[in-house]
Amino acid sequence: VFENSKTASIAVAQEIAALIRSKQEQQQSCILGLATGSSPKGLYAELVRMHKEEGLSFKNVITFNLDEYYPMEPDSINSYVRFMKELLLDQVDILPENYNIPDGTLSKEEIQAYCANYEEKIEALGGIDLQVLGIGGNGHIGFNESGSLQNSKTRLVALDHITRVAASKDFSGLSNTPRTAITLGVKKIMEAKRVILLAWGEGKSNIVKASAEGTVTNLVPASFLQEHDNAVFILDQEAASKLT
């Protein structure tokens, strides 16, 4: 629990930078799983600052984003491709072939094979070294909504009403908000060697409590992280305020 989201984001950026540098020393790739949304914005800003001011290089970094709305054009204002490029990928020296974000332009028939390939690519690289997560008001991780199974695969999912309501401010209304998305499955998230979930603000306090201290249940997918050997919740005071 940190004083505020800024100090927390800096601490997480330092952990990620240390991992990237130690992989560089070993001449290995660093495989990062990344989230979008408001929670990791401060983290990405700090990583960009470290790149620009401290020479942190992303040349050995390979990233896999958790999710993308479906359907979604990459250059659309609300696409996660655009979000990632603007906030991180275009601001650092990562090689364009080294970032992966689920493709929102596929035909329905192509999705299943695409998702299997997304997972195979992660496996071929030896899995995700460090996975960054946010948490939805319903306890979703990625877009693994309430009811997602612990062994769920990367797939097309229907978004919960609560998720769509949260997103609707970006899409100027619920009727314009996508109903589906492609998400990395819970299984690949749980296989990551390290998981860091970020949550800020009073609005997340109830779901943080349910996820960290409640029953492990697929009704609250973030609660699965209680069974991960190396997962942490990084919180500000407000998000932590209901913890016992």
Under rule CB under 6 A, residue 142 binds ligand F6R: yes
DSSP three-state, residue 94:
coil
- Residue 59 tokens read as 């040349």
CA atoms within 13 A on the CB side of 188: 34
Q: CA angle 226-144-30, nearest 5°?
A: 70
Pick out residues in 53-92 that bind ligand F6R (CB under 6 A): 66-67
CB of 80 to ligand F6R, least distance (A): 6
Catalytic residue annotation: 145
Q: 49 CB contacts (<8 Å, ≥6 apart)?
A: none
Q: Considering beta carbons, is residue 39 or 60 the nearer one to ligand F6R?
A: 39
| Contact predicate 100/64, CB 8 Å | yes
- Nearest approach, Cβ of 23 to ligand F6R (angstroms)? 23
> Could you tell me which stretch among 1-9, 35-43, 49-57, 187-195 binds ligand F6R (CB under 6 A)?
35-43
How many residues lie near ligand F6R (CB under 6 A)? 14
Cα dihedral 18→24→28→32 (10° resolution)? 40
Residues 143-202 close enough to bind ligand F6R by CB under 6 A: 143
Verify binding: residue 37, ligand F6R, rule CB under 6 A. Answer: yes
Residues that bind ligand F6R (CB under 6 A): 35-39, 66-67, 134-136, 140-143
